[in-house]
Amino acid sequence: MNFSRRDFLQKSTAVATGVPLLMSMDIDYCEAATATPPDLSMGFPENAIRLNWNENTLGPSPLAIKGAIAGLKEGYRYALGSLLAPLLADYHSLDKDWVLMGTGSTELQRLAPATHLNEGGNVVSSLETWAGGLRVAEHMGVDVRRIDLIEEKGFAYDIEGLLNAVDDKTQMFIMVSPNNPTGTSLSYQELKRIADSLPDKVLFVIDEAYADYLPDNWGTGIDLLKAGYKNVLVTRTFSKAHGMAGLRSGYGLGHPDILKRITQFGCGPASTSIVAFGAIQGALNDIGHARQTRSYVERTRKFYQQKCETLNLHSVSGPSPFMMIKTGNRTSEIQQALKNKKILVGNGKSWNVPDYLRVSYGREKENEVFFRTLATLL
Ligand SMILES: Cc1ncc(COP(=O)(O)O)c(C=O)c1O
């Protein structure tokens, strides 16, 4: 770097903040410092239409952004994520000891098997689903039993088949509702049927990353907790309806004994960054934002359904912010052709549905461009 200290001081916005301090410490930071903005493209081309990662393109609530910025200014401090537990407990009408913060809900999904499975046991879950903690279970050498969803019934869960796979060695039963990628959602009666069928020693993990998109009053795993089931762990996240995927803010809800066991390996007080700590408080003060997101997703789903009908394409979706579109044995070819045009979508083979594209709803313009382009590739 051929910057002189004077050049740097003239050009850098850092003059107003840290530079005088660094100068007084006689640190020659100029060799390393650059004025280049950070690259946040994640390796995707400029102006790419990113419909591949189930992100909420409406972004976070303005209050969450405000909270994040306030947190950023305190970035030199550690945050005590556990202080958020009472807020979330209030929000869900649970006791604060029943809440555990994680670096995204993924941390909890992965730690649940890591802390609750032993050699010789087995896990029961579905095949066409987000693998979350299942990879950890597989890595641990545990027998993972994955049951097909029923395609002829619109990818309904095969609850009978799942429960039949449970035996005296089963230690964990994992469901995703609403499911990724099919959108399949379990009713309270179905959840209760599963919970009632499982022996108390089996941990019933319910991944509810997309629960904020369900209609009001839809019974979820949280209602099982309120009904007194002590072997249930529900995971939730701010990544989806709250538009905070990059802030890595999730949490688990369950009996304190389950949560305590998880904290032996992670989800400690330092699992929440202070930026997320501020943002979560803002998001909780603006639940209307997540509701607006839900309305947007409902509208967009209808738009996608109409477009698929016009193009004579079969589609599968639920309340969650994405749709599976059947493109048969041309799926990978079409995905690549879209990618060549800087439109990124998921390939169902990642979730064992290779005949489908999985398309996350984007902004209105992006959705229109996607369908216009898809039409040219069929
Ligand atoms: C079903 C499901 N669970 C969990 C996650 C990840 O959530 P988080 O960002 O909270 O780790 C995803 C991400 O796409 C998901 O689809």
Q: Identify the residue whose C-alpha is closest to ligand 1 atom 14.
A: 54
Whether residue 185 has its Cβ less than 6 Å from ligand 1: no
Tens-digit pLDDT profile for residues 119-167: 889 999 999 999 889 999 999 999 999 999 999 999 999 999 999 999 9
CB-based contact 130:103 (threshold 8 Å): no
Tell me, using a 6 A CB cutoff, whether residue 180 lines ligand 1.
Answer: yes
**Can you name the CATH fold of 62-284?**
Aspartate Aminotransferase; domain 2 (3.40.640)
Q: What backbone torsions phi and psi does residue 9 show, to the nearest 5 degrees?
A: -60, -35
pLDDT at 132: 87
Residue boundaries of the structural domains of the chain = 49-60+288-377, 62-284
For the CA of 53, the closest atom of ligand 1 is 14
238 lines ligand 1 (CB under 6 A): no
Instruction: Give residue 15's pLDDT band: very low, low, confident or very high (50, 70, 90).
Output: very low
Which pLDDT belongs to residue 35? 76
Q: What is the percentage of the chain residues whose pLDDT exceeds 90?
A: 87
The dotted CATH code for 49-60+288-377 is 3.90.1150.10
| pLDDT exceeds 70 at position 23 | no
Residue 262 in contact with residue 108, Cβ under 8 Å? yes
3-state secondary structure 299-321: HHHHHHHHHHHHCCCCEEECCCC
Q: Where are the alpha helices (DSSP H) in 41-96?
A: 62-73, 85-92
- Tell me which of 50, 184, 239 to substitute to probe ligand 1's pocket, judged by most ligand atoms within 8 Å of the beta carbon: 239
CB of 133 within 6 A of ligand 1: the answer is no
Contact 224, 192 (CB under 8 A): yes
- φ, ψ of residue 194 in degrees (nearest 5): -65, -50
Residue 119 confidence (pLDDT):
85
Q: Mean pLDDT over all residues of the chain? A: 92
- pLDDT interval class at 62 (50, 70, 90): very high
Q: Is the pLDDT of residue 8 over 70?
A: no
Give the position, in ligand 1's atom list, of the atom nearest the Cα of 107: 11
pLDDT at 240 over 90: yes
Calculate how far, in angstroms, residue 32's C-alpha sits from the geometric centre of ligand 1.
Answer: 36
Atom 12 of ligand 1, nearest CA residue: 209
Residue 178 pLDDT class (50, 70, 90 cuts): very high
**What is the model's pLDDT at position 343?**
98
Instruction: Give the mean pLDDT of 103-123.
Output: 94
CA dihedral over 69, 74, 75, 77, signed as positive or negative: negative
Ligand 1 pocket test, pick from 105, 126, 185 with the greatest ligand atom count within 8 Å of Cβ, gives 105
> Between these two residues, 362 and 4, which has the higher pLDDT value?
362
pLDDT of the residue at 18: 47
Sequence-distant (6+) residues with CB within 8 A of 64 are: 242, 243, 244, 279, 280, 282, 283, 286, 289
Q: Which residues make Cβ contacts (< 8 Å) with residue 248, sequence separation at least 6? A: 103, 104, 239, 273, 276
Q: Looking at residue 36, what is its pLDDT?
A: 84
What distance in angstroms lies between residue 286's CA and the mean position of ligand 1's atoms?
A: 21
Q: Is the CB–ligand 1 distance for residue 250 below 6 Å?
A: yes
What's the pLDDT band for 13 if we cut at 50, 70, 90? very low
What is the structure's pLDDT at 4? 44
Do 49-60+288-377 and 62-284 share a fold? no
Q: Rounded mean pLDDT of 99-104?
A: 96
* Distance from residue 110's CA to the centre of ligand 1 (Å): 11
| Cβ–ligand 1 contact at 176 (below 6 Å) | yes
Question: CB count, 10 Å around CB of 216?
Answer: 6
Is the CB of 132 inside a 6 Å radius of any atom of ligand 1? Answer: yes
Residue 275 DSSP one-character state: H
The pLDDT value recorded for residue 368 is 98
105 lines ligand 1 (CB under 6 A): yes
